[in-house]
Structure 1
Amino acid sequence: MKFARDTWLIFQRQALLLLRNPVWIFVGVFQPIMYLVLFAPLLKPALAPMGASSDAEIYRIFVPGLLVLLAIFGGLFQGFGLIAELRAGVIERSRVTPVSRLALLLGRSLRDVISLLMQAVIITVLAIPFGLTVQLGNLLLAYLLLALIALMTSAVSYGVALLVRSEDALAPLMNTVAQPVLLLSGILLPLAFAPLWLQRVAQWNPFSWAVDGTRALFAGNLGDDAVWQGLLITLALASLAVTWAARAFARSVR
């Protein structure tokens, strides 16, 4: 009970900070919107060999990848805010409080998850006039998958931020990790276009499973193996990331 209360208190504080400056929610969706408006219309001839001839089919392929992209980038760069709190002494002052160290992490990560879901809703609504159609139940399950990705990536970002404690080190590190992960996940174009060796390498990338699962849900294929595979892999990795980052918080706040 105390853990839940502590997590809620941390979440409330972090959410209040976000609401005081909501412009960051819209800044976060600006680049995905540009992809949605300026890049997606070019995909019709590229995706024709896959049988995607209508606008609805094209956006059911493109939008899920765009949402996963948003979840990955939105989570991996949350550590910058934590470094600012470290510099301001916020984490240091937490040493004298009885707040659970795990709650210090989860409260922040849940704020990031809610922020991501708000951005995902904006992107989904904006894609509807372009022809996107998706069943509500499948959409909610896809949002659950996105939430797990955001939880995992934000936890990793916070844990790394506690280790490096410098924006100059965190930025190139996160970019170095994010670049191959994104290219090997088939976010902008399905990996069916890729050479066989690249497809085999991508099978070791957990985000490629998440993208396939999200696309299956948007296509209405709830029973597709990619759905439960993506959910299980993402859930396992999110649990590992939260456990590791929570231990990093426990070491830093004693």
Structure 2
Amino acid sequence: MTTIGAHTAHSKAAVAGDGWQGAHLPGQIALLAGRSLRALARNPKLLIISLLQPMVFLVLLTQVFSSLGTTANFPAGATYVDYLMPGFLVVSALSVASEAGVALTTELRSGLLARFRALPISRSSVLFARSVAEVIRNVILMVVLLGLAMLVFGFDPAGGLAGLGAALLLATLMSASMVWVFLALAAWLRNPEAMQALGFLLLFPLMFVSSMFVPVANLPGWLQAVAKVNPVTYAIDASRSLTLDLPVGNLIAASVATSAGLMVVGIAAAVAGFRRPL
């Protein structure tokens, strides 16, 4: 009886948080991120769709808008696919970020995250794990898109591997910041339908009112003003300059500062929203 009583007291103490506190935070994030990636791997339909969607967009955009490459303000000697791809890498982060927000609201509704809260882990580790998993997914997606553009459409950036690698880093940073923005929206909305509708509402202005398809100088005056404050434009311009071996100036600093600022705000808002009672 004494042994049983001692074991029960020890179990209660562990549950109350006086005993085992679980793994360290990086370990928690790695474990939960692995869970999200395994769930994606076990659902090949979702994985295939997430890869096919940007591929279809790439085919359509390079063929439908290819004539735009001959208009004013385009880089001399660059084909339209050379101009489009750096922006396409950055914009691919937007759809992945939107899906991250929808996934978080779905898990909140299903009660899965309520069970996570009963475990001896940091609540914020759930959010950080989700962001890590989504960024990894986007990096894989960007590499596949680059391979397709090179093999099928003759994408041959003048900046070489060094410029392309630097552009990928900037696109990855923008991906991470946008994932946190959408996680923050999801943590406060907590509704998959509303999150999905808001995602579409935000994606199209961020994508089309930027320098992705044409130089900002080619847009109407009022759209130029919007494009110049669009955070996606900074990342696209810096990535494009690196990829096409164009003068960079302060574009990299502006892109990093914009992405970092969005990430800081997104993390703070997401953690605050996620800590609210379910």
Q: TM-score, normalised by structure 1?
A: 0.89
2:136 to 88, 110, 114: 114
What amino acid sits opposite 1:239 in the alignment? Answer: V
| 1:26–1:119 Cα contact (<8 Å) kept | no
> Match of 2:273, SS?
helix
| 1:62–1:188 Cα contact (<8 Å) kept | yes
- Aligned-pair distance for 1:44? 4.1
Deviates more, 1:193-202 or 1:111-120: 193-202
Tell me the residue number matched to 1:133.
156
- Aligned-pair distance for 1:93? 0.9
Cα pair distance change 1:137/1:252, threshold 3 Å: farther
Q: TM-score, normalised by structure 2?
A: 0.82
**1:63-74 paired onto structure 2 within 5 Å:** 63-74=85-96
1:15 to 23, 27, 37: 37
| 1:44–1:52 Cα contact (<8 Å) kept | no
Tell me the residue number matched to 2:204.
179
Give the distance between the partners of 2:197 and 2:265, measured in 1 at CA: 23
Q: Give a deviation string over 1:90-148, Cα, whole Å, max 9, x none.
A: 11112221212221111011100000010100110111132212322222222222222
Structure 2's unaligned 5+ residue stretches are 1-22
Cα pair distance change 1:67/1:51, threshold 3 Å: closer
1:78 paired with 2:103, answer no
| 2:211–2:236 Cα contact (<8 Å) kept | yes
Cα pair distance change 1:94/1:64, threshold 3 Å: same
2:251 to 220, 223, 226: 226
* Structure 1 residue ranges, 4+ long, deviating more than 6 angstroms after superposition: none
Cα pair distance change 1:222/1:15, threshold 3 Å: farther
Deviates more, 1:110-119 or 1:124-133: 124-133
Q: Give a deviation string over 1:7-62, Cα, whole Å, max 9, x none.
A: 111111111112212443331232322232233134443222345575x5322211
- Aligned-pair distance for 1:71? 0.6
Structure 1's unaligned 5+ residue stretches are none
Tell me the residue number matched to 2:6.
none
Tell me the residue number matched to 1:93.
115
Give the percent of matched residue pairs that are identical in Structure 1 and Structure 2: 27
> Match of 2:156, SS?
coil
Structure with higher helix content: 1
Give the structure with higher Rg (CA). Answer: 2
